[in-house]
Structure 1
């Protein structure tokens, strides 16, 4: 029998309650390992470089480096890491027009 592959995830959101809630929920799922969490885009990019996750769950509105810039940097510098945007913004399409390459899901 082959071992089940674990998906390594970094969660990036500036709201502590949201970030910790997502980390807690993901921790309940088999096959998911949360390897790090960040309160802003700059820390998210740093964690991706350090931890080499499979996926980043990225908020758009964060201090220091927003999710759009962080997504651009992750997708450019670490093309093997996928980015999924989690946001409460009503529209995200315009936010990503200048962002190439963009996220894999919103």
Structure 2
């Protein structure tokens, strides 16, 4: 008889306790990602909340704060509240934020 069949197998090596490095949530390579904004953009947005509320009175200040001044988030809110097309809402948000509708 072959003795190798009765020999217990060596236990598998446990996974290394050091995990592979992962990108931080919310970090994206390259400067052109749509969620990236220039430094100070959030502070400028917070200063313009009253103006945004006057521009879109069907929104609440809390909803506007939650958009953080992101074109896509603001456009989604405008689209939802005013029943606009995505393109029209994005154009309004982009113009308001000084981006000419670009995302």
TM-score by length of 1: 0.26
Larger proportion of helix: 2
Larger proportion of strand: 1
